Chains A and B, each alone.
Chain A
Amino acid sequence: MTAKQDVNPQQATSPPDDERKARAGSPLERVIELAIKASGFSAILFVFAIFFFVFSTASEFIFEKLDFVEFLTSPEWYPTSLSNKRYGTLALLAGTVSVTGLAMLIAVPLGLGSALFISEFTSGSMKEGLKIVIELLAAIPSVVWGFIGLAVMNPLIIEVFDAPIGLNVLNGGIILGLMSVPIIVSIGEDALKAVPDSYREASLALGATRWQTARQVLFPAARSGLLAAVLLGVGRAIGETMAVLMATGHAVQIPGSPLDSVRTLTATIAAELGETAAGSDHYQALFAVGVLLFLLTFGVNLAADLIVRGRSSR
């Protein structure tokens, strides 16, 4: 009650007694309030539960058998070797980082550009049509993207770049980039739409062009929303499995150029987990890879969060 009054002083005009009576008289309202609160907290619960599950499955291996130096710095991933099992994830990590990085080089300018265009430079049926088409793009299943990578991009890359094989970082990066674009566009467009019109009017009134308004007023004002859009795009790219499994060539090596094949962390888990005996070293090592992936996305999110906060406090 009091908290509500603090936040929203207009409410104080209604008689507080009546309000209290109305609330006490409706147990349903309290149930609904609780349910909403619970669903709010459930997100936190799920995140911790998932992390706990992944970490506890891998914990025996992590604490007793894992050589951390090898795990993080060796590119040698030999989980099924008969003579010399090695669990180095550096090459897989390099695979994930290179494909995601290239995907973002493609998706961020394309995504933010089209968000800006849809939000500021077009209107009416064109705007609605574009939004619908981009939402459709988001609905394409990842296995279909993977198939495009395999069947369309592979021969194309061989042809254009004279590469020995078209399943590589470039292929995976383009596919993942295109998959991330719809997310960046729809969230970026929402962020730009949320900037009050008074900002635009003030800027234009001062004689700024629409481009100057977009670059110097709208982008800074919508900064945190746009960053969130990019981050969700990064998250999609890092976490994507099926499409990269099919498009990157699935080869354990540190790429020297965009035309080298790689294997990502997610693809390794997807390809190998189904066949390993539950509880074996290999099984637990794959969960340790899951922990690594979790820490990676957590790190990206945290870093971006700190950047947003650091900027806004200035």
Chain B
Amino acid sequence: MVQTDRTAYLLCAGLIALAACSSSNSDRTVLQNKGSDTLVNVAQAWAENYSRVKSDVAVVVSGGGSGTGIAALINGKVDIANASRKMKFEEHESMRQNGLKAAVQHTVARDAIVVFVHEDNPVSQLSVQQLACVYGEGGSCSTWTDLGIEVPGCAKQEIIRISRQSNSGTYVFFRETVLGETGDFKLGSRDMQGSKDVVDLVTHTPCAIGYSGMGYANEKLKSVCVSANDGEACVSPNAETAASGAYPIARGLYMYTIGEAEGAAKDYLDWILSPAGQAIVTQSGFVPVN
């Protein structure tokens, strides 16, 4: 009897402690933020800087890909999903089926997909059609000679296509913009895990062509000037052309919330769109929205 009483007391004490704990926790609001690997670095920078602005809000950032982030939003695991593409019809549909409010899209930055080649490659410009001929299923361009280019140090002039794995938002965006709504990639491209791998590989491979978000390009690579159609003037990828939409392979980077953002999430998004938040976008190599 005494024994059971004691256990009951202990249990009570434990419960009280637990309650106290959780109440002290709730002073600090935690925002869960997950999604696009393209956005993950800038999202982390935002989260870090925001903790200095508002110490009572902690933003937890993780990557995994746009699809993963949106799936987590639908499953109620995150407050804000990061995406480097717009939400798909099916994703909107599955939100509706889960009885959720419609997702609201916030354009937080802009990005251009830079097509790049090895620094020794003499290519100066390519059209979207030529890129489709190189990357697209059924495209007949398999050597640099087919494009009228001679690349020094490249065995057999074979074009080594570097692409991304199918889970990447950059992959989906490139496919949509360059290969068309129903287009597919030609088999046999080297599909890398991340943009950094693409950059590394192209830096060391004279025959290679690759693509990534603007933030990853470096001086050792040669960015290709891209024209929307054969014979048109080409546009170099940079902050102005990406923001104005003149560069043919530019996109918005988005954050999604369920319904209009409220409370801490709204404050956070407002801060991201403020000059302080957008300065971080520029530092990370992307293009600010305003």
* Distance, CA A274 to CA B71, complexed state (A): 12
Task: Find chain A residues with CB under 8 A from B204 CB.
Answer: 154-155, 158
Task: Find chain B residues with CB under 8 A from A261 CB.
Answer: 188, 190
Contact A164 B184 (CB under 8 A): no
A81 within 8 A of B: yes
Counted as pairs of residues, one from A and one from B, with CB atoms less than 8 Å apart, the total is 77
* Distance, CA A277 to CA B88, complexed state (A): 14
- Per-residue CB contact flags for chain A residues 158-169 toward chain B (1 = under 8 Å, else 0) read 100011110100
Q: How many residues of B contact A (CB 8 A)?
A: 31
B158 within 8 A of A: yes
- Per-residue CB contact flags for chain A residues 242-276 toward chain B (1 = under 8 Å, else 0) read 00010001111100000001010000000110110
The contact of A80 among B71, B156, B166, B181, by CB within 8 Å, is B166
Contact B187 A164 (CB under 8 A): no
* Distance, CA A79 to CA B172, complexed state (A): 13
Given contacts A271-B193, A274-B64, A275-B67, contact A164 B188 (CB under 8 A): no
Contact B68 A165 (CB under 8 A): no
- Per-residue CB contact flags for chain B residues 186-200 toward chain A (1 = under 8 Å, else 0) read 011111110000000
The contact of A252 among B67, B187, B206, by CB within 8 Å, is B187
The contact of B187 among A77, A84, A271, A272, by CB within 8 Å, is A77
Chain B interface, DSSP helix/strand/loop, else mixed? loop
Contact B154 A164 (CB under 8 A): yes
Chain A residue, CB-CB nearest to B166: A80
The contact of B189 among A82, A251, A271, A272, by CB within 8 Å, is A251
* Distance, CA A77 to CA B182, complexed state (A): 16
Interface residues of B in 170-217 (CB under 8 A from A): 172, 181-184, 187-193, 201, 204-208
What would be 10 A-B contacts, judged by CB atoms less than 8 Å apart? A76-B187, A78-B184, A83-B182, A83-B183, A158-B205, A165-B207, A250-B191, A253-B188, A271-B191, A275-B65
Q: Contacts A164-B154, A271-B191 given; 7 further ones with Cβ under 8 A?
A: A82-B181, A84-B184, A165-B207, A250-B191, A251-B187, A252-B191, A275-B64
